[in-house]
């Protein structure tokens, strides 16, 4: 049994949901993030996990983990202004800020993340 807890910035409004499986608990945690709850934790195994720590307990295959990543939703990039939000995809941050590599994924990569589809380098400075 896992208790998924989502907390807003205010003291009121804490949401708790109980799930039996790790996968279901992770999905609820991702849903909380998508709803804008900035603080999400998962309680289970006699431990309180951040969503990133909990994700690592269920998947050992890095490619599978990318699709489950709670921050980038598998795109490999997060918003520089709002690093808890993906930079591209359906759940992308709409603030218009720059993207940066997902910090959750960066420890697993042997090389920098792939560039998003349609990425264009706007740095036209001559490099020497």
SS3 category, 3: strand
Predicted TM-score (pTM) of the model is 0.50
Higher confidence at residue 109 or residue 46? 46
**Spatial CB neighbours of 69, under 8 Å, sequence gap ≥ 6:** 55, 102, 104, 105
Q: Are 21 and 40 within 8 A, CB to CB?
A: no
Q: So what's the pLDDT on residue 112?
A: 64
The secondary element (H helix, E strand) that includes residue 19 is: strand 15-19
Higher confidence at residue 42 or residue 106? 42
Domain ranges of the chain: 1-58, 61-117
């Amino acid at each position: 049994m896992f208790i998924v807890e989502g907390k807003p910035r205010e003291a009121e409004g804490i949401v708790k949901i109980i799930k039996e499986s790790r996968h279901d608990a992770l999905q609820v945690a991702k849903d909380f993030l998508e709803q804008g709850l900035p603080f999400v934790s998962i309680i289970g195994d006699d431990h309180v996990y951040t969503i990133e720590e909990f994700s690592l307990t269920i998947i050992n295959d890095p490619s599978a983990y990318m699709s489950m990543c709670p921050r980038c939703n598998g795109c490999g990039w997060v918003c520089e202004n709002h690093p808890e939000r993906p930079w591209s995809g359906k759940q992308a941050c709409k603030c218009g800020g720059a993207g940066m590599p997902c910090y959750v994924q960066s420890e697993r990569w042997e090389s920098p993340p792939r560039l998003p589809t349609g990425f264009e380098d706007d740095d036209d400075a001559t490099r020497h």
